[in-house]
């Protein structure tokens, strides 16, 4: 042992070096040396007292010179004395109770601190998030209240009881357009519905009625029906601009895929100026946004947002052989949506220029070798009928007589139905247009007509 080190071994205290191993008999301890144990029996109790301990304490006839040994010896004697004192036991119990109270108070204060933590403190605590992640979480938090869940209910008669039941036949997403309670979604989400139910972010459910729809653009407008009492707190979507979108720009989609409410997916703009056909009328929708953000069944009608949280499109369709997301999704540009919604809110319908004709599908025209739009019928009183356009008919012998073939409009070549729709979308109601048509004998005829509105 090193000099100055004292250790208790059995009932003897060793001190000093290995060469000078001097020891002194201390005490005979009866039982374990812990609080509440048997009182130790000292060989010479008159030599050491619990009060007025002297630095020249002697053990037997030898003086303890090592200071460390003295300290150890005195501490041991004081401990044995205090453990037997009645007040010590009471103080020990009181200290244990105080420690338990203190621990409970710390837990309560921790819970209160969590409850009263401010958003700024929470944001500061999330130091592990990158700046990009913080921006995305803030975008989701700010725009989630603007997205709703729409359930399409259909009335069916029970085969056994003959009772009329409301059965969900479809669901989708929608967005709050304004503070008046107008909800914008896809037309195919609410098609064939007998009743509609809109679920807001907080879980409140409200019935809704159809204000109007644009089948050609797959856009529909609903009106929330609120009961008596305090109206729901609405958070309209911030409208953006889709005219100058760039490929590679980051976008975010919020919706309710497969009924999972308020799901956020992200991606980029994969392409602009795409064209898809309306699943309702077959009429082409132009300037559609293509994105690789995950869009699944249930996302239809939900918003497509830019990095600032502004609405740039409404998710409407995906290209997938399986029906699930394959990385090719389409959204109707907000500029087209805004045009249709404004007319629906004002007039209850979309007023769009038409020629007043029905024509053959492109595939049928190709099979007949026709280059252009083959007119099947010109509605009586319509612009085309007034201009002398003739539809397809049969002669008195039952033979098929093909009608006029529209080849150009306002000097622009027309080969397919998509070409015709694109040119008509650039016209306004009442405009005069020059239309070139040909008969089966390839006689080119130029006619002027006034465009009427679609009713």
Catalytic residues, by residue number, are 188, 218, 300
Residue ranges in 129-193 assigned as alpha helix (H): 131-143, 187-190
Helix, coil or strand: residue 52: coil
DSSP state of 82: H
Distance CA(253)–CA(137), nearest Å, equals 13
For the chain, what percentages of helix, strand and coil (3-state, to nearest 5) are there?
Answer: 25, 35, 40
Cα atoms in the Cβ-side hemisphere of radius 13 Å centred on 62: 9
The Cα 30–Cα 11 span in angstroms is 11
Q: At what angle do helices 67-84 and 86-115 cross, to 10 degrees?
A: 90
Q: How far is CA 424 from CA 82, 283, 284, 420, in A?
A: 104, 12, 12, 6
Q: Can you tell me whether residue 276 is helix, strand or coil?
A: strand
Question: Who contacts 153 (Cβ-Cβ below 8 Å, separation ≥6)?
Answer: 166, 167, 168, 169, 193, 194, 195, 196, 197
50: its two tokens: 């619990």
Q: What is the DSSP string of 193-231?
A: -SEEEEE-TTS-EEEEEEEEEEGGGTEEEEEE---SSSP
DSSP-H helix ranges across 126-170: 131-143
Q: Which of 64, 58, 49 is nearest to 14 (CA)?
A: 64
List the alpha helices (DSSP H) in 282-406: 334-347, 362-367, 383-386
Contact call for residues 303 and 280 (beta carbons, < 8 A): no
Determine how many CB atoms are found less than 10 A away from the CB of residue 335: 15
What is the distance between the alpha carbons of residues 287 and 159, in angstroms, rounded to a whole number? 47
* 301, 175 Cβ separation under 8 angstroms: yes
Cβ 344 vs Cβ 351: under 8 Å: no
d(Cα 75, Cα 69) in Å, to the nearest integer? 10
**Is residue 445 classed as helix, strand or coil in its secondary structure?**
strand
């Amino acid at each position: 042992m090193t000099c100055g080190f004292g250790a208790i071994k059995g009932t003897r205290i060793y001190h000093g070096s290995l060469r000078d191993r001097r020891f002194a008999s201390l005490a005979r301890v009866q039982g374990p040396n812990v609080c509440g144990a048997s009182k130790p029996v000292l060989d010479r109790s008159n030599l050491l007292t619990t009060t007025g301990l002297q630095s020249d304490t002697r053990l037997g006839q030898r003086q303890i010179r090592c200071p460390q040994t003295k300290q150890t010896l005195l501490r041991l004697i004081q401990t044995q004395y205090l453990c037997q004192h009645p007040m010590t036991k009471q103080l020990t119990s009181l200290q244990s109770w105080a420690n338990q109270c203190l621990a409970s108070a710390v837990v309560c204060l921790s819970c209160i601190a969590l409850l009263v933590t401010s958003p700024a403190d929470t944001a500061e605590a999330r130091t592990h998030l990158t700046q990009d992640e913080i921006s995305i979480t803030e975008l989701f938090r700010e725009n989630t209240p603007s997205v709703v869940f729409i359930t399409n209910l259909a009335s069916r008669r029970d085969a056994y009881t003959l009772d009329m039941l409301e059965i969900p036949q479809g669901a989708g997403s929608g967005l709050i357009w304004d503070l008046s309670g107008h909800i914008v979604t896809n037309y195919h989400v609410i098609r064939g519905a007998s009743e509609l139910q809109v679920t807001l972010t907080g879980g409140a459910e409200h019935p809704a009625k159809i204000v109007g729809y644009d089948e050609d653009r797959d856009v529909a407008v609903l009106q929330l029906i609120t009961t008596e009492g305090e109206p729901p707190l609405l958070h309209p979507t911030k409208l953006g601009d889709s005219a100058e979108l760039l490929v590679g720009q980051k976008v975010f989609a919020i919706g309710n895929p497969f009924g999972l409410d308020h799901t956020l997916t992200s991606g980029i703009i994969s392409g602009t100026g795409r064209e898809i056909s309306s699943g309702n009328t077959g009429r082409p929708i132009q300037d559609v946004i293509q994105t690789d953000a995950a869009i699944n069944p249930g996302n239809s009608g939900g918003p497509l947002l830019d990095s600032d949280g502004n609405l740039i499109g409404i998710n409407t369709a995906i290209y997938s052989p399986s029906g699930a997301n394959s990385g090719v999704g389409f959204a109707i540009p907000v500029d087209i949506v805004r045009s249709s919604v404004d007319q629906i809110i004002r007039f209850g319908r979309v007023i769009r220029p038409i020629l007043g004709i029905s024509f053959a599908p492109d595939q049928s025209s190709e099979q007949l070798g026709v280059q252009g739009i083959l007119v099947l019928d010109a509605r009586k009183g319509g612009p085309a009928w007034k201009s002398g356009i003739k539809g397809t008919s049969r002669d008195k012998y039952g033979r098929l007589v093909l009608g006029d073939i529209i080849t150009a409009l306002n000097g622009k070549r027309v080969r397919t139905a998509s070409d015709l729709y694109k040119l008509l979308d650039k016209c306004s109601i009442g405009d005069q247009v020059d239309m070139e048509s040909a008969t089966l004998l390839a006689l080119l005829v130029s006619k002027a007509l006034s465009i009427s509105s679609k009713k």
